[in-house]
Amino acid sequence: NAGVTQTPKFQVLKTGQSMTLQCAQDMNHNSMYWYRQDPGMGLRLIYYSASEGTTDKGEVPNGYNVSRLNKREFSLRLESAAPSQTSVYFCASRSGGVGETQYFGPGTRLLVL
């Protein structure tokens, strides 16, 4: 049981390049999330998916797209990377039932030059 996994761990992009961050969970959770974490800004929600086949914008969706490929996988795409997207990106999935806890992946550290 790996929990939430993310690839890649690190990435350097040039301005204008595109890339997809991958996330997968093996806990059979319905809801999945993408956050970015920046110094002094805490965690900000980019997009979330309440269930397979649905996605919704979070607090800072501009410049990003997502795909909920199936129940396990939720990817985040940067179509044309900008330096302002330099950040650490975390994927999370949420359990149901008591507590409804979010479980986080280890993060992807992205540098856009």
Partner 1 sequence: GEDVEQSLFLSVREGDSSVINCTYTDSSSTYLYWYKQEPGAGLQLLTYIFSNMDMKQDQRLTVLLNKKDKHLSLRIADTQTGDSAIYFCADRVNAGNNRKLIWGLGTSLAVNP
> Binding pattern to partner 1, positions 53-72, x when CB under 8 A?
---x----------------
**At closest approach, how far in Å is the CB of 34 from partner 1?**
13
Per the CB < 8 A criterion, the answer to whether 13 and 27 are in contact is no
Per rule CB under 8 A, is residue 19 in the interface with partner 1?
Answer: no
Determine if 90 is a binding residue for partner 1 (CB under 8 A).
Answer: yes
**Euclidean distance between CA atoms 6 and 80, whole angstroms:** 21
Residue 103 makes contact with partner 1 by CB under 8 A: yes
The burial of 96, by beta-carbon neighbours within 10 Å (0-12 exposed, 13-18 middle, 19 or more buried), is given as exposed
Among 5, 38, 48, which Cα is nearest to 23's? 5
Q: List contacts with partner 1 (CB under 8 A).
A: 4, 40-43, 45, 48, 50, 56, 90, 92, 98-107
